[in-house]
Structure formats: C-alpha cells, structure tokens
Amino acid sequence: MKSNLIKSMTAFAALGLIISACAGAATPTTAPEPTAAPEATATTAPEATAAEATATTAAEPTAAEPTAATATTAPATGGELKVGLIMVGPYNDKGWSQAHYEAMEYVTQKQPGVTFDYVDKVNAGDRPNVKGSQVADDLIAKGAQVIIFNSDDFKDDALETAKKHPDIPVIHASGDYSWKEGNNFRDQPNLINIMGQMEYGKMIGGCAAAMATETGKIGYLGPLINEETRRLAASVYLGARYCWENYAGKDPKDLQFKVTWIGFWFNIPGVTLDPTKVADDFYNGGYDVVLSGIDTPEAAVQAKKAAEAGKTVKFVHYDYAGGCEVAPDVCLGVPYFNWGSAYLDAMQKAMNGQLTQSFSWNAPDWKNINDPDTSAVGFVQGKALGDNAAKLDEFIKGLGDNTIQLYKGPLNYQDGSVFLKDGEVATPQQIWYLQQLLEGMEGSSSAQ
C-alpha cells in the first residue's frame, strides 16, 4: 500500500510537471507573429479616407449581401457597438496580440460608443479544451456585435462562427477566405479579412541589412514554411539585393542570403530547431546580420552576446516596435504592424451596418509610414543604422512613389524557373501565394 501511495505521488508529481511544462511551453505560443503596437496616442483625428487609401487590393464587396451585417449592428451614429476580440497570445505580449489589443483601445478612443470585450491566450497550450469558435459563441452571448479573430490559426473558427452567426460580422486578421480573387475564397457574406502589407516592412529591413553587412552574408531566421512566410522572406531578400546593388554598389552575385526555418513561430524543444542555436550558427558562420521572422527574440539576444564577445554583428527584429530594446547598439530596426486605422474603419462601417464580406491587404501610408492613424505597416529605425539612415529613407520614398518596384521581372524562382518575365509586375495573387523562394536565396522552399 505504501509503495502504491509513493507511486501515486510520483505519478501526480509527474503529471504536475507535465502540466506545468505544457503551460511553460505555451507561454511563447502566445504570440504567433508578435507585432508592435504603435503608441495609440494619436492626436489628430483619423481622416475618413485613411483606410481607403491604404486598401490597395481590397476586393469589391459587391458579392456581399449588405443585409447580413445590417441586421444587428446599430445602423445610426450615436449608436453603440460592442466588439469581441479573440487573441491567440496574451493581450500584453509586447507583440502580435498586444498590437490588436492596443488597436481596439485606439478605436474606442477615436469612436465614441465602441466598447470591447476580449479573451486572450486562446491557443491549445494555454487553454487546451477551448476552441476559438466557442469563445466567439460566448462573447456573442454576452452581447458582442462584431467578432475579431487575430491569428491565421483561427481560419476555421472564423468561418464556423460566421456561418453560425450570419448576423454578426466576423473579422479574421490575416487569412484569405473572403478574397474573391484569391485561391481559397469561401462565399460567406459576413466574413472579413484584414492584413497589413508587411512585405514592405520586410523589404525595408532587408535593405537595412544589406547596407550594414560587411561579410556580404545575411541570415533569415524563419518560422514555418507557408505562403505568408515565403513571401515575407522573399521580400527581405528583394530589399537586401536592391540596396546591396544600388546603395552599397556591389555585385548581387556576391550577396549570400540564407533562410533557416525552425519549423514554428517559436521554439518547441524536440519539435523545432532551436532558434538560439540557429542564430548562433549564423553569427559564428560569418553571417554578420540576421533578420528575425519568428515571434521570440533569439536573433536579438544572440546578437547582443556575440557583440559583447567582440564580434561585429547586427540584427533586424520583427513585429514589435520595441524590439530594438534588447540590444539597441546592434539593432538596425524593426518592421511592425499597426491595426488601428483598419479596425477603426471597420467599426465605423459596422455601426452603419455596412461591414460585410471584404478583403483588405493594407499598405503603409507612404507620407509617413509610422503614422499611427493611417499606416498599416511601419518601420522603427535602430541605432546601428548609423549613416545609412538617409539612404534607407530614400529607399522608403522610392517604394512609396513606385520608382522602386521589387516584385518586377525578370525574377526567377529558386529552382530557376521563371516567376516574372522581364518587365512583368507581380499581381497581388502572385505575391500572396508565392510558390517558392527566389533565385539567389538559400534555404528550403517547402516543408519536407
């Protein structure tokens, strides 16, 4: 009996360890794709045109039946609107989820009558037996009139919720189910997709990296391989190649660009590659600039250590505007998302009963990419940029006025086949659904 008791205690302790280990592992999950929330302290009132100006590839919402959304949302000004925000990570993760949370706080400041409830950490690690669609059901039962899902992983939940509650507009940040011209269109009148054109942020990061590298070797710490991560990695490369050639005045053939995919948005011991080790391998292998594409700050932390050990290395963070804080002296900058203007526009439409099926892939506001009221994507410049800051501004200006078009032929896929013919400019679909990495990039194009 005694041994049985000891056994049961052992089992219980083991169970406790497992559960706490799971919870521990879950903490980083928290932020598939962290982002930076720009300060929601904007002083100027947003212009009504802001979101429209940025929505370059928005599908015409003609297929949508306006009645779907009108049914529930208060159709007049002075009305009230309760929003339910479902986040994959903690609302204060200093990353992806916090950006959404602060964007909704921004909306409540800008638009009287809007309030929001949120549930964060909706992921299998933190809340094992909870589905996103269940959280939506509960938020709707508590009076939510619009639902926001903030992760790509919620695509099924978003569709399920939209089908189950046809009167509630359901916003899925990232995702393409409502893109009529896309590959995965689902004709669901109350489903809305919103995404920022992070490709530009990545190009800017790539440019900063190319101007900074002394060895001509740039590393990209990639998450898992999918269309989104392929196009972002390719955008980094295109930005790097352009600035390597035009600002550093060097031959593109001499630029080495390597992508190492760890297998997920953060480290899962035993499942993914260890990003700390991958970052170290880059820095020790002569890659003196590493850009992060993952949620967690290994590229920054290891750069700091390498720099302290006397190596000349630099990094570009991702998603979180405060990303340079880890190691300001060796930080080149950080591209980040700003959801505020798109959400404000969406909620104003919802209040008028006009928020229906649409796909918005919002661009930076080129007048000022860090304008919290208008720009969907921004870039915070880091200290390590030094004298190259002026050239980077020139590059950003060129992207904005279209004098620099990077997704323009001739461009080949990694296997040498033609992606874009000479002079051909990629369509939004060709970019969104990028099939392979590009020629000149080293690394896998698809999961094995």
Partner 1 sequence: MNENSKTTRPPGASALSLRVSRAAYYQLGALLISLLFMALIVIFSGESPLRVVSSLWDGAFGTADQFARVLATLTPLLLCASGLIYTFTAGLYNLGVEGQIVVGAVATTWVLRALQNQVPAPLVIALGIIAGMAGGMLWGLLAGALNVYGKISEIFAGLGLNFVAQGLAIYLIFGPWKRPGVASMSGTEPFDESLWLGRIGQTEASPVALVIALVVLIITIVVMRNTYYGLRLKAVGQNPRAAFILGIPSTRLLLSSFAICGAFAGIAGALQVVALFHRLIPSISSSLGFLALLVVMLISFNALWILPMAFFFSGLNVGSLQLPMALRLESSLAGVIQGTLVLFALLARGLSERAGKIKRSQ
Binding site for partner 1 (CB under 8 A): 1-2, 4-5, 7-12, 14-16, 18-19, 22-23, 32, 117, 119-120, 123-131, 134-135, 137-139, 141-142, 152-156, 164, 183, 224-227, 263-264, 270-271, 433, 447-448
Which is closer to partner 1, CB of 33 or CB of 371?
33
Query: Of 394, 392, 350, 356, nearest to 116 (Cα)?
Result: 350
Measured from the CB of residue 115, what is the shortest distance to partner 1 in angstroms?
Answer: 14
Q: Which two tokens stand for residue 185?
A: 């269109």
Spatial separation of the C-alpha atoms in residues 88 and 152, rounded to whole Å: 9
Tokens 């915070």, located at residue: 380
Measured from the CB of residue 111, what is the shortest distance to partner 1 in angstroms?
Answer: 23
Which is closer to partner 1, CB of 63 or CB of 130?
130
Which is closer to partner 1, CB of 75 or CB of 166?
166
Measured from the CB of residue 360, what is the shortest distance to partner 1 in angstroms?
Answer: 20
Phi, psi of 128 (to 5 degrees): -55, -45
Which is closer to partner 1, CB of 161 or CB of 354?
161
Q: Which amino acid belongs to residue 115?
A: T
Which is closer to partner 1, CB of 390 or CB of 447?
447
Measured from the CB of residue 129, what is the shortest distance to partner 1 in angstroms?
Answer: 4
Q: Which two tokens stand for residue 190?
A: 């109350």
Which is closer to partner 1, CB of 32 or CB of 169?
32
* Burial (CB count <10 Å: 0-12, 13-18, 19+), residue 180: middle
Phi, psi of 59 (to 5 degrees): -70, 145
Which is closer to partner 1, CB of 18 or CB of 48?
18
Query: Of 219, 364, 242, 237, nearest to 292 (Cα)?
Result: 219
Pairing of β 170-173 and β 114-119: unpaired
Measured from the CB of residue 336, what is the shortest distance to partner 1 in angstroms?
Answer: 22
Query: Of 181, 212, 231, nearest to 411 (Cα)?
Result: 231
Q: How far apart are the first and last CA of the chain?
A: 51
Which is closer to partner 1, CB of 12 or CB of 80?
12
Measured from the CB of residue 295, what is the shortest distance to partner 1 in angstroms?
Answer: 12
Pairing of β 114-119 and β 377-381: unpaired
Pairing of β 81-86 and β 191-196: unpaired
Measured from the CB of residue 119, what is the shortest distance to partner 1 in angstroms?
Answer: 6
Measured from the CB of residue 237, what is the shortest distance to partner 1 in angstroms?
Answer: 20
Spatial separation of the C-alpha atoms in residues 31 and 35, rounded to whole Å: 9
